[in-house]
Structure 1
């Protein structure tokens, strides 16, 4: 029982839970038109996204539950980012709506495909998704701080590639897996599995 508790209650999982709990704070600041506080909480949420994975590796506390919490946290925070953007900056959202729709679909379609096939939230944590999240978050801040809009448009390309890769992984694997870094990893695994038969 103690070993089970250690696997469930650990520092990386706590950090992921904190990220999930930051979503209501983001909504609060957005609804009160406090954009600077919103940006502050958003940056902290992104920091926790990096921190939980780092802690899981260095503390050797990577678990399936932790991977799922991380994915739930990511989905909740990035959905909150999109909704709050409509609340805080409706004019910019209308101007950039095509790119926003593409990015939102890029984050939601792989989740829906995973839910249909495995009846659970996928938790691959691919390198392409990590890169897409980093690029999109930076470009999101640049866009709404009214510094530059072209990085946000380029971010859609990263998001589309990441989405295609995640959907491909879901279609290629036969049972639900976590921490699949690339589609090439799956293709190599499938090739080795068929070759060993």
Structure 2
């Protein structure tokens, strides 16, 4: 019982829960039209996203629950970012709507495919998704701080690739898995399994 409790209640999982709880705070500042505070909470959420994974590996506290909490936190925060952008910067959103819709679809379609097949949110944490999230988050800040708009458009390409890879992983595996770094890992495993039969 104690071991099970240690796996559920640990520092990385707590940080993931904190990230989820930051979503309503982001909504609050968006509705109040306080963009600077919104950016501050967003940066805190991004920091917790980096921190929970780092701590899970460093403290050897990586768990299936932690991986799923991390995925739930990511999905909630990135959905919140999208909705709050419409609240805070409707003119920019209209101008960049094609890229914005493409990015939103690239984050939601893999989740929907996973829900249909496994009845739960996927939690692969692929390298392509990590890269797409990093580029998209930086470009999001640059766009809505009205510094640069072209990085947001480039981020779309990275998001499309990441989405295709996650969907491919979901279609290729028979049982739900967590922490799958690339689709090539699945293809290699499937190839080895086929050869050993």
Q: Under a length normalisation based on structure 2, what TM-score does the superposition of the two structures give?
A: 1.00
Partner residue in 2 for 1:136? 136
Partner residue in 2 for 1:37? 37
Q: List aligned pairs for 1:26-65, cutoff 5 A.
A: 26-65=26-65
* Structure 1 spans left out of the alignment, 5+ residues: none
Query: Separation in 2 of the partners of 1:67 and 1:189?
Result: 21
Partner residue in 2 for 1:124? 124
Query: Separation in 2 of the partners of 1:163 and 1:86?
Result: 23
Partner residue in 1 for 2:186? 186
Query: Separation in 1 of the partners of 2:94 and 2:32?
Result: 20
| Aligned-residue offset at 1:192 | 0.9
Partner residue in 1 for 2:109? 109
Runs of 4+ in 1 over 3 A off after TM superposition: none
Partner residue in 2 for 1:76? 76
SS of residue matched to 2:3: helix
Query: Separation in 2 of the partners of 1:27 and 1:115?
Result: 26
SS of residue matched to 1:175: coil
| Aligned-residue offset at 1:11 | 0.4
Query: Separation in 2 of the partners of 1:165 and 1:14?
Result: 29
Number of aligned positions between the proteins? 197
TM-superposition CA deviations, 1:113-146 (whole Å, max 9, x none): 0000011100000000000000000000000000
Partner residue in 2 for 1:6? 6
Query: Separation in 1 of the partners of 2:68 and 2:123?
Result: 6
| Aligned-residue offset at 1:195 | 1.2
TM-superposition CA deviations, 1:41-72 (whole Å, max 9, x none): 00010010000000000000000000000000
* Structure 2 spans left out of the alignment, 5+ residues: none
Query: Separation in 1 of the partners of 2:65 and 2:47?
Result: 20
Q: Under a length normalisation based on structure 1, what TM-score does the superposition of the two structures give?
A: 1.00
Over the residues paired in the alignment, what is the CA RMSD in angstroms? 0.3
Query: Separation in 1 of the partners of 2:180 and 2:163?
Result: 14
Partner residue in 1 for 2:93? 93
1:17 aligns with 2:14: no
